Structure 1
Amino acid sequence: MFFIEKLSNSLSLKISSYLNLSEDQKEIIAYGAFNLIQTIWCIFVVLLLGVIFSVTAKAFIISFVISILRKYSGGAHSSSPNRCALIGAIVSVGLALIIKYTSIYINYKIVMAIGVSSFLLAYYIIYKYAPVDSTAKSIIKEVTRQKMKKKSFFVLNALATVVIVILISYLIIGLEFLLITVNCIYAGVLWQVITLTPKGCLALLKIDILFKYLTEKFGGENNEKQNV
Protein backbone atom coordinates (compact mmCIF):
# COMPACT_ATOMS: atom_id res chain seq x y z
CA MET A 1 0.00 0.00 0.00
CA PHE A 2 1.33 3.44 -0.94
CA PHE A 3 2.11 6.18 1.56
CA ILE A 4 -0.69 8.44 0.27
CA GLU A 5 -3.20 5.60 0.50
CA LYS A 6 -2.02 4.72 4.02
CA LEU A 7 -2.30 8.34 5.11
CA SER A 8 -5.79 8.80 3.63
CA ASN A 9 -7.02 5.53 5.18
CA SER A 10 -5.55 6.48 8.56
CA LEU A 11 -7.20 9.90 8.38
CA SER A 12 -10.51 8.34 7.37
CA LEU A 13 -10.32 5.84 10.24
CA LYS A 14 -9.70 8.57 12.82
CA ILE A 15 -12.50 10.80 11.52
CA SER A 16 -14.94 7.88 11.25
CA SER A 17 -14.15 6.69 14.77
CA TYR A 18 -14.53 10.18 16.20
CA LEU A 19 -17.85 10.82 14.42
CA ASN A 20 -19.05 7.20 14.67
CA LEU A 21 -19.65 6.95 10.91
CA SER A 22 -20.75 3.92 8.90
CA GLU A 23 -18.43 1.86 6.70
CA ASP A 24 -19.80 3.49 3.53
CA GLN A 25 -19.21 6.96 4.96
CA LYS A 26 -15.71 5.91 5.97
CA GLU A 27 -14.93 4.86 2.37
CA ILE A 28 -16.23 8.18 1.05
CA ILE A 29 -13.98 10.09 3.45
CA ALA A 30 -11.02 7.89 2.51
CA TYR A 31 -11.63 8.55 -1.19
CA GLY A 32 -11.92 12.29 -0.63
CA ALA A 33 -8.82 12.35 1.55
CA PHE A 34 -6.85 10.37 -1.02
CA ASN A 35 -7.75 12.81 -3.80
CA LEU A 36 -6.95 15.83 -1.62
CA ILE A 37 -3.57 14.49 -0.47
CA GLN A 38 -2.71 13.35 -4.02
CA THR A 39 -3.55 16.82 -5.37
CA ILE A 40 -1.41 18.53 -2.72
CA TRP A 41 1.46 16.13 -3.43
CA CYS A 42 1.24 16.76 -7.20
CA ILE A 43 1.25 20.53 -6.62
CA PHE A 44 4.27 20.22 -4.34
CA VAL A 45 6.27 18.19 -6.88
CA VAL A 46 5.46 20.67 -9.68
CA LEU A 47 6.41 23.54 -7.35
CA LEU A 48 9.68 21.87 -6.37
CA LEU A 49 10.81 21.14 -9.93
CA GLY A 50 9.47 24.46 -11.15
CA VAL A 51 11.57 26.36 -8.60
CA ILE A 52 14.67 24.30 -9.42
CA PHE A 53 14.40 25.08 -13.14
CA SER A 54 12.94 28.61 -12.71
CA VAL A 55 9.71 27.87 -14.60
CA THR A 56 7.24 27.69 -11.71
CA ALA A 57 4.44 29.83 -13.18
CA LYS A 58 4.69 28.25 -16.62
CA ALA A 59 4.71 24.72 -15.17
CA PHE A 60 1.66 25.46 -13.02
CA ILE A 61 -0.33 26.79 -15.98
CA ILE A 62 0.52 23.73 -18.07
CA SER A 63 -0.23 21.36 -15.17
CA PHE A 64 -3.57 23.07 -14.48
CA VAL A 65 -4.66 22.89 -18.13
CA ILE A 66 -3.70 19.21 -18.36
CA SER A 67 -5.52 18.41 -15.11
CA ILE A 68 -8.77 20.23 -15.85
CA LEU A 69 -9.02 18.79 -19.37
CA ARG A 70 -7.98 15.33 -18.21
CA LYS A 71 -10.74 15.28 -15.60
CA TYR A 72 -13.36 14.77 -18.31
CA SER A 73 -11.41 13.51 -21.33
CA GLY A 74 -9.70 10.75 -19.34
CA GLY A 75 -6.55 8.96 -20.41
CA ALA A 76 -4.03 6.37 -19.29
CA HIS A 77 -3.21 6.30 -15.58
CA SER A 78 0.02 5.54 -13.78
CA SER A 79 -0.05 2.50 -11.50
CA SER A 80 1.40 4.51 -8.60
CA PRO A 81 0.40 7.87 -7.04
CA ASN A 82 4.07 8.80 -6.66
CA ARG A 83 4.86 8.07 -10.31
CA CYS A 84 1.68 9.85 -11.35
CA ALA A 85 2.87 13.00 -9.55
CA LEU A 86 6.46 12.67 -10.77
CA ILE A 87 5.62 12.02 -14.43
CA GLY A 88 3.07 14.85 -14.42
CA ALA A 89 5.59 17.26 -12.90
CA ILE A 90 8.36 16.25 -15.32
CA VAL A 91 6.03 16.72 -18.29
CA SER A 92 4.82 20.14 -17.06
CA VAL A 93 8.31 21.40 -16.26
CA GLY A 94 9.75 19.92 -19.46
CA LEU A 95 7.15 21.69 -21.60
CA ALA A 96 7.67 24.88 -19.59
CA LEU A 97 11.41 24.75 -20.31
CA ILE A 98 10.75 24.34 -24.03
CA ILE A 99 8.50 27.40 -23.96
CA LYS A 100 11.04 29.35 -21.90
CA TYR A 101 13.86 28.83 -24.38
CA THR A 102 11.82 29.14 -27.58
CA SER A 103 9.63 32.13 -26.68
CA ILE A 104 12.16 34.63 -28.09
CA TYR A 105 11.69 33.10 -31.54
CA ILE A 106 7.89 33.19 -31.48
CA ASN A 107 5.89 36.28 -32.46
CA TYR A 108 2.18 37.04 -32.41
CA LYS A 109 1.49 35.60 -35.86
CA ILE A 110 3.24 32.34 -35.03
CA VAL A 111 1.33 32.11 -31.75
CA MET A 112 -1.94 32.59 -33.65
CA ALA A 113 -1.03 29.87 -36.16
CA ILE A 114 0.00 27.46 -33.39
CA GLY A 115 -3.22 28.21 -31.52
CA VAL A 116 -5.54 27.54 -34.46
CA SER A 117 -3.70 24.31 -35.32
CA SER A 118 -3.62 23.17 -31.67
CA PHE A 119 -7.30 23.69 -30.99
CA LEU A 120 -8.44 22.21 -34.29
CA LEU A 121 -6.40 19.10 -33.50
CA ALA A 122 -7.73 19.05 -29.94
CA TYR A 123 -11.37 19.26 -31.05
CA TYR A 124 -10.81 16.43 -33.52
CA ILE A 125 -9.07 14.12 -31.04
CA ILE A 126 -11.63 14.74 -28.30
CA TYR A 127 -14.45 14.11 -30.77
CA LYS A 128 -12.85 10.84 -31.90
CA TYR A 129 -11.41 9.42 -28.67
CA ALA A 130 -12.73 11.13 -25.52
CA PRO A 131 -13.38 10.01 -22.93
CA VAL A 132 -10.55 7.48 -22.67
CA ASP A 133 -10.91 5.17 -19.68
CA SER A 134 -8.39 2.89 -18.03
CA THR A 135 -8.42 -0.58 -16.52
CA ALA A 136 -8.70 1.04 -13.09
CA LYS A 137 -11.46 3.46 -14.08
CA SER A 138 -13.65 1.92 -16.75
CA ILE A 139 -16.52 3.97 -18.14
CA ILE A 140 -19.31 1.49 -18.74
CA LYS A 141 -22.47 3.57 -19.28
CA GLU A 142 -22.84 5.25 -22.68
CA VAL A 143 -24.73 8.13 -21.04
CA THR A 144 -21.72 8.79 -18.82
CA ARG A 145 -19.39 8.71 -21.80
CA GLN A 146 -21.49 11.26 -23.68
CA LYS A 147 -21.65 13.55 -20.64
CA MET A 148 -17.88 13.41 -20.23
CA LYS A 149 -17.35 14.13 -23.93
CA LYS A 150 -19.63 17.17 -23.72
CA LYS A 151 -17.81 18.41 -20.62
CA SER A 152 -14.48 17.89 -22.41
CA PHE A 153 -15.71 20.13 -25.21
CA PHE A 154 -16.97 22.65 -22.65
CA VAL A 155 -13.52 22.83 -21.01
CA LEU A 156 -11.86 23.14 -24.41
CA ASN A 157 -14.27 25.95 -25.36
CA ALA A 158 -13.51 27.71 -22.07
CA LEU A 159 -9.76 27.45 -22.68
CA ALA A 160 -10.19 28.77 -26.23
CA THR A 161 -12.15 31.73 -24.84
CA VAL A 162 -9.40 32.44 -22.31
CA VAL A 163 -6.81 32.33 -25.10
CA ILE A 164 -8.80 34.80 -27.22
CA VAL A 165 -9.15 37.20 -24.28
CA ILE A 166 -5.41 37.00 -23.54
CA LEU A 167 -4.48 37.57 -27.19
CA ILE A 168 -6.76 40.61 -27.40
CA SER A 169 -5.15 41.90 -24.19
CA TYR A 170 -1.74 41.41 -25.78
CA LEU A 171 -2.75 43.54 -28.77
CA ILE A 172 -3.85 46.28 -26.39
CA ILE A 173 -1.01 46.33 -23.85
CA GLY A 174 1.72 44.34 -25.62
CA LEU A 175 3.12 42.44 -22.63
CA GLU A 176 5.22 39.46 -23.73
CA PHE A 177 4.26 37.28 -20.78
CA LEU A 178 0.74 37.13 -22.22
CA LEU A 179 2.03 35.29 -25.29
CA ILE A 180 4.03 32.98 -23.02
CA THR A 181 0.86 32.26 -21.02
CA VAL A 182 -1.01 31.40 -24.22
CA ASN A 183 1.79 29.06 -25.28
CA CYS A 184 1.56 27.31 -21.91
CA ILE A 185 -2.16 26.75 -22.49
CA TYR A 186 -1.42 25.36 -25.95
CA ALA A 187 1.20 23.01 -24.50
CA GLY A 188 -1.19 21.70 -21.84
CA VAL A 189 -3.99 21.13 -24.33
CA LEU A 190 -1.74 19.43 -26.88
CA TRP A 191 -0.12 17.11 -24.35
CA GLN A 192 -3.45 16.03 -22.92
CA VAL A 193 -5.17 15.34 -26.24
CA ILE A 194 -2.15 13.51 -27.63
CA THR A 195 -2.29 11.17 -24.62
CA LEU A 196 -5.86 10.31 -25.60
CA THR A 197 -4.71 8.69 -28.83
CA PRO A 198 -3.74 4.99 -28.90
CA LYS A 199 -0.08 5.83 -29.54
CA GLY A 200 -0.15 8.44 -26.79
CA CYS A 201 -1.59 5.96 -24.29
CA LEU A 202 1.03 3.41 -25.31
CA ALA A 203 3.82 5.96 -24.84
CA LEU A 204 2.57 6.81 -21.34
CA LEU A 205 2.36 3.12 -20.50
CA LYS A 206 5.99 2.63 -21.53
CA ILE A 207 7.05 5.67 -19.51
CA ASP A 208 5.21 4.30 -16.48
CA ILE A 209 6.88 0.90 -16.90
CA LEU A 210 10.28 2.58 -17.16
CA PHE A 211 9.70 4.60 -13.99
CA LYS A 212 8.40 1.52 -12.20
CA TYR A 213 11.54 -0.38 -13.15
CA LEU A 214 13.77 2.47 -11.96
CA THR A 215 11.96 2.91 -8.63
CA GLU A 216 12.04 -0.81 -7.90
CA LYS A 217 15.67 -1.12 -8.99
CA PHE A 218 16.79 1.70 -6.71
CA GLY A 219 14.70 0.72 -3.69
CA GLY A 220 11.33 2.16 -4.62
CA GLU A 221 7.87 0.68 -4.83
CA ASN A 222 6.99 -3.00 -4.99
CA ASN A 223 3.83 -5.04 -5.28
CA GLU A 224 1.90 -2.19 -6.87
CA LYS A 225 -1.71 -2.04 -7.86
CA GLN A 226 -3.76 0.46 -9.85
CA ASN A 227 -4.48 3.52 -7.74
CA VAL A 228 -4.36 6.61 -9.91
Structure 2
Amino acid sequence: MSYLSFSRRWASYLSRQTDLPAEQETILAYVIEVLALNFLNIFCTLLLGAFLGVLPGVATCLVVAVLFRHSAGGAHSNSPLRCAAVTVVIFPLLALLGAYFSRLNQGFVDILSAVAFVVGITAMIILAPVDSPAAPITSPLRRKKLKYISITFVVLVTAAAMWFRDSQWQYAEIARACISLTLLWTSFTLTVWGHKLMSIIDTISFKK
Protein backbone atom coordinates (compact mmCIF):
# COMPACT_ATOMS: atom_id res chain seq x y z
CA MET A 1 0.00 0.00 0.00
CA SER A 2 1.31 3.42 -0.93
CA TYR A 3 0.88 6.30 1.51
CA LEU A 4 2.48 9.20 -0.34
CA SER A 5 1.38 10.74 -3.62
CA PHE A 6 4.89 11.32 -5.00
CA SER A 7 5.64 7.59 -5.01
CA ARG A 8 2.50 6.91 -7.04
CA ARG A 9 3.38 9.66 -9.53
CA TRP A 10 6.94 8.40 -9.99
CA ALA A 11 5.75 4.83 -10.34
CA SER A 12 3.11 5.89 -12.86
CA TYR A 13 5.71 7.75 -14.94
CA LEU A 14 8.18 4.85 -14.87
CA SER A 15 5.40 2.38 -15.71
CA ARG A 16 4.39 4.38 -18.76
CA GLN A 17 7.99 4.48 -19.92
CA THR A 18 8.52 0.74 -19.47
CA ASP A 19 4.97 -0.58 -20.09
CA LEU A 20 4.71 -2.20 -16.67
CA PRO A 21 1.40 -3.88 -15.78
CA ALA A 22 -0.78 -2.28 -13.10
CA GLU A 23 0.15 -4.75 -10.35
CA GLN A 24 3.86 -4.09 -10.95
CA GLU A 25 3.23 -0.35 -10.79
CA THR A 26 1.77 -0.77 -7.29
CA ILE A 27 4.86 -2.68 -6.15
CA LEU A 28 7.13 -0.08 -7.75
CA ALA A 29 5.29 2.72 -5.93
CA TYR A 30 5.85 0.96 -2.61
CA VAL A 31 9.55 0.36 -3.32
CA ILE A 32 10.08 4.02 -4.30
CA GLU A 33 8.32 5.15 -1.16
CA VAL A 34 10.30 2.88 1.18
CA LEU A 35 13.64 3.91 -0.36
CA ALA A 36 12.77 7.61 -0.24
CA LEU A 37 11.58 7.41 3.36
CA ASN A 38 14.66 5.44 4.41
CA PHE A 39 16.99 8.08 2.98
CA LEU A 40 14.87 10.86 4.45
CA ASN A 41 14.66 9.38 7.94
CA ILE A 42 18.41 8.73 8.06
CA PHE A 43 19.03 12.33 6.97
CA CYS A 44 16.56 13.70 9.54
CA THR A 45 18.00 11.48 12.28
CA LEU A 46 21.54 12.66 11.56
CA LEU A 47 20.34 16.26 11.32
CA LEU A 48 18.62 16.02 14.69
CA GLY A 49 21.74 14.41 16.12
CA ALA A 50 23.83 17.31 14.85
CA PHE A 51 21.34 19.81 16.30
CA LEU A 52 21.50 18.07 19.68
CA GLY A 53 25.30 17.89 19.55
CA VAL A 54 25.45 14.07 19.44
CA LEU A 55 26.05 13.43 15.73
CA PRO A 56 28.88 10.87 16.26
CA GLY A 57 26.68 8.97 18.68
CA VAL A 58 23.70 8.94 16.33
CA ALA A 59 25.88 7.77 13.44
CA THR A 60 27.23 4.96 15.63
CA CYS A 61 23.70 3.90 16.61
CA LEU A 62 22.56 3.84 12.99
CA VAL A 63 25.52 1.74 11.81
CA VAL A 64 25.00 -0.85 14.56
CA ALA A 65 21.23 -0.94 14.01
CA VAL A 66 21.58 -1.46 10.25
CA LEU A 67 23.96 -4.39 10.79
CA PHE A 68 21.45 -6.23 12.95
CA ARG A 69 18.34 -5.19 11.06
CA HIS A 70 19.41 -7.10 7.96
CA SER A 71 20.49 -10.21 9.86
CA ALA A 72 18.54 -10.50 13.11
CA GLY A 73 15.39 -8.74 11.92
CA GLY A 74 13.00 -7.70 14.66
CA ALA A 75 9.74 -5.93 15.30
CA HIS A 76 8.78 -3.31 12.77
CA SER A 77 5.82 -1.10 11.99
CA ASN A 78 3.42 -1.83 9.17
CA SER A 79 3.91 1.76 7.97
CA PRO A 80 7.14 3.18 6.54
CA LEU A 81 6.12 6.54 8.01
CA ARG A 82 5.92 5.08 11.50
CA CYS A 83 9.24 3.29 11.03
CA ALA A 84 10.78 6.61 10.03
CA ALA A 85 9.29 8.32 13.09
CA VAL A 86 10.67 5.62 15.41
CA THR A 87 14.14 5.98 13.87
CA VAL A 88 14.15 9.77 14.19
CA VAL A 89 13.08 9.57 17.84
CA ILE A 90 14.89 6.52 19.20
CA PHE A 91 18.45 6.93 17.93
CA PRO A 92 18.99 10.56 18.98
CA LEU A 93 17.60 9.56 22.39
CA LEU A 94 20.04 6.64 22.58
CA ALA A 95 22.86 8.97 21.55
CA LEU A 96 21.91 11.48 24.25
CA LEU A 97 21.81 8.70 26.80
CA GLY A 98 25.16 7.43 25.53
CA ALA A 99 26.65 10.91 25.87
CA TYR A 100 25.40 11.09 29.46
CA PHE A 101 26.80 7.66 30.35
CA SER A 102 30.13 8.53 28.73
CA ARG A 103 30.57 11.35 31.25
CA LEU A 104 30.33 8.87 34.13
CA ASN A 105 33.33 6.81 35.15
CA GLN A 106 34.74 4.32 32.65
CA GLY A 107 33.81 1.40 34.89
CA PHE A 108 30.11 2.16 34.39
CA VAL A 109 30.46 1.97 30.61
CA ASP A 110 32.45 -1.26 31.05
CA ILE A 111 29.52 -2.76 32.94
CA LEU A 112 27.06 -1.47 30.34
CA SER A 113 29.13 -3.07 27.57
CA ALA A 114 29.29 -6.38 29.43
CA VAL A 115 25.52 -6.39 30.04
CA ALA A 116 24.85 -5.51 26.40
CA PHE A 117 27.08 -8.37 25.24
CA VAL A 118 25.35 -10.94 27.46
CA VAL A 119 21.86 -9.72 26.53
CA GLY A 120 22.78 -9.44 22.84
CA ILE A 121 24.40 -12.84 22.48
CA THR A 122 21.51 -14.48 24.37
CA ALA A 123 18.89 -12.76 22.21
CA MET A 124 20.65 -13.73 18.98
CA ILE A 125 21.07 -17.37 20.03
CA ILE A 126 17.49 -17.79 21.23
CA LEU A 127 15.44 -15.42 19.06
CA ALA A 128 17.26 -14.37 15.89
CA PRO A 129 16.36 -14.13 13.14
CA VAL A 130 12.90 -12.64 13.68
CA ASP A 131 11.11 -12.35 10.35
CA SER A 132 7.87 -10.61 9.43
CA PRO A 133 4.59 -12.10 8.20
CA ALA A 134 5.05 -10.15 4.95
CA ALA A 135 8.48 -11.71 4.31
CA PRO A 136 8.76 -15.00 6.21
CA ILE A 137 12.05 -16.93 6.25
CA THR A 138 11.04 -20.33 4.88
CA SER A 139 14.50 -21.83 4.39
CA PRO A 140 15.99 -23.51 7.50
CA LEU A 141 19.46 -23.07 5.98
CA ARG A 142 18.95 -19.32 5.51
CA ARG A 143 17.55 -19.01 9.03
CA LYS A 144 20.61 -20.78 10.44
CA LYS A 145 22.94 -18.58 8.38
CA LEU A 146 21.26 -15.38 9.57
CA LYS A 147 21.52 -16.55 13.18
CA TYR A 148 25.26 -17.15 12.82
CA ILE A 149 25.68 -13.74 11.16
CA SER A 150 23.76 -12.07 13.99
CA ILE A 151 25.92 -13.76 16.63
CA THR A 152 29.04 -12.75 14.72
CA PHE A 153 27.89 -9.14 14.65
CA VAL A 154 27.44 -9.18 18.44
CA VAL A 155 31.04 -10.30 18.81
CA LEU A 156 32.27 -7.71 16.29
CA VAL A 157 30.45 -4.71 17.78
CA THR A 158 31.55 -5.75 21.26
CA ALA A 159 35.13 -5.96 20.00
CA ALA A 160 34.69 -2.48 18.52
CA ALA A 161 33.46 -1.22 21.90
CA MET A 162 36.54 -2.72 23.56
CA TRP A 163 38.78 -1.08 20.97
CA PHE A 164 37.15 2.30 21.62
CA ARG A 165 37.95 1.88 25.32
CA ASP A 166 41.63 2.63 24.70
CA SER A 167 41.14 4.94 21.72
CA GLN A 168 42.26 8.57 21.84
CA TRP A 169 39.33 9.69 19.65
CA GLN A 170 37.41 12.36 21.53
CA TYR A 171 34.08 10.63 20.88
CA ALA A 172 35.32 7.11 21.64
CA GLU A 173 33.55 6.77 24.98
CA ILE A 174 30.29 8.07 23.52
CA ALA A 175 30.57 5.61 20.64
CA ARG A 176 31.24 2.78 23.09
CA ALA A 177 28.15 3.61 25.13
CA CYS A 178 26.05 4.00 21.98
CA ILE A 179 27.16 0.61 20.67
CA SER A 180 26.00 -1.02 23.91
CA LEU A 181 22.70 0.86 24.04
CA THR A 182 21.89 0.06 20.41
CA LEU A 183 22.68 -3.60 20.99
CA LEU A 184 20.26 -3.58 23.93
CA TRP A 185 17.60 -1.82 21.82
CA THR A 186 18.08 -4.28 18.97
CA SER A 187 17.77 -7.21 21.37
CA PHE A 188 14.57 -5.69 22.76
CA THR A 189 13.02 -5.48 19.27
CA LEU A 190 13.45 -9.25 18.92
CA THR A 191 11.29 -9.94 21.98
CA VAL A 192 7.54 -10.16 22.38
CA TRP A 193 7.67 -6.85 24.28
CA GLY A 194 9.33 -5.21 21.29
CA HIS A 195 6.57 -6.47 19.05
CA LYS A 196 3.93 -5.23 21.47
CA LEU A 197 5.52 -1.78 21.45
CA MET A 198 5.43 -1.66 17.65
CA SER A 199 1.82 -2.83 17.70
CA ILE A 200 0.99 0.13 19.92
CA ILE A 201 2.84 2.46 17.55
CA ASP A 202 0.85 0.97 14.67
CA THR A 203 -2.35 2.23 16.29
CA ILE A 204 -1.15 5.79 15.67
CA SER A 205 -2.76 7.10 12.52
CA PHE A 206 -1.31 9.59 10.03
CA LYS A 207 -3.66 11.86 8.17
CA LYS A 208 -3.18 11.69 4.41
TM-score (norm 1): 0.77
CA RMSD of aligned residues (A): 2.6
- 2:202 corresponds to which of 200, 208, 214: 208
CA deviation profile, 1:70-96 (whole Å, cap 9, x unmatched): 111111111211111111111101111
Cα–Cα, structure 1 residues 2 and 31, in superposed 2: closer, same or farther, change >3 Å?
closer
Partner of 1:182: 176
Aligned length: 206
Paired with 2:12 and 2:130, the residues of 1 have a C-alpha distance of: 33
User: What is the Cα deviation at residue 35 of structure 1?
Assistant: 4.1
- Name whichever of 189-198 and 95-104 sits farther off: 95-104
Partner of 1:147: 145
User: What is the Cα deviation at residue 158 of structure 1?
Assistant: 2.6
Partner of 1:46: 45
CA deviation profile, 1:29-52 (whole Å, cap 9, x unmatched): 656534431221111220343244
* Partner SS, residue 75 of structure 1: coil
* Partner SS, residue 73 of structure 1: coil
Cα–Cα, structure 1 residues 30 and 156, in superposed 2: closer, same or farther, change >3 Å?
farther
The amino acid of 1:116's aligned partner reads A
The amino acid of 1:71's aligned partner reads H
Partner of 1:192: 186
Partner of 2:157: 159
Contact kept? 1:72, 1:152, Cα under 8 Å: yes
- Name whichever of 118-127 and 135-144 sits farther off: 135-144
The amino acid of 1:2's aligned partner reads Y
- 2:127 corresponds to which of 126, 129, 136: 129
Contact kept? 2:49, 2:55, Cα under 8 Å: yes
* Partner SS, residue 149 of structure 1: helix
Q: Matched residues, percent identical?
A: 27
CA deviation profile, 1:163-195 (whole Å, cap 9, x unmatched): 233224x2xx3x442111111111111101111
The amino acid of 2:150's aligned partner reads S
Contact kept? 2:101, 2:177, Cα under 8 Å: no
Paired with 2:163 and 2:19, the residues of 1 have a C-alpha distance of: 48
The amino acid of 1:83's aligned partner reads R
1:24-173 pair list within 5 angstroms: 33-107=32-106, 109-168=107-166, 170=167, 173=168
Contact kept? 1:45, 1:86, Cα under 8 Å: no
Contact kept? 1:63, 1:89, Cα under 8 Å: no
Paired with 1:125 and 1:179, the residues of 2 have a C-alpha distance of: 25
The amino acid of 1:163's aligned partner reads A
Paired with 2:156 and 2:29, the residues of 1 have a C-alpha distance of: 32
After TM superposition, the runs of 4+ consecutive aligned structure 1 residues lying more than 4 A away are 21-32
**Structure 1 unaligned regions, length at least 5:** 222-228
**Structure 2 unaligned regions, length at least 5:** none
User: What is the Cα deviation at residue 110 of structure 1?
Assistant: 2.5
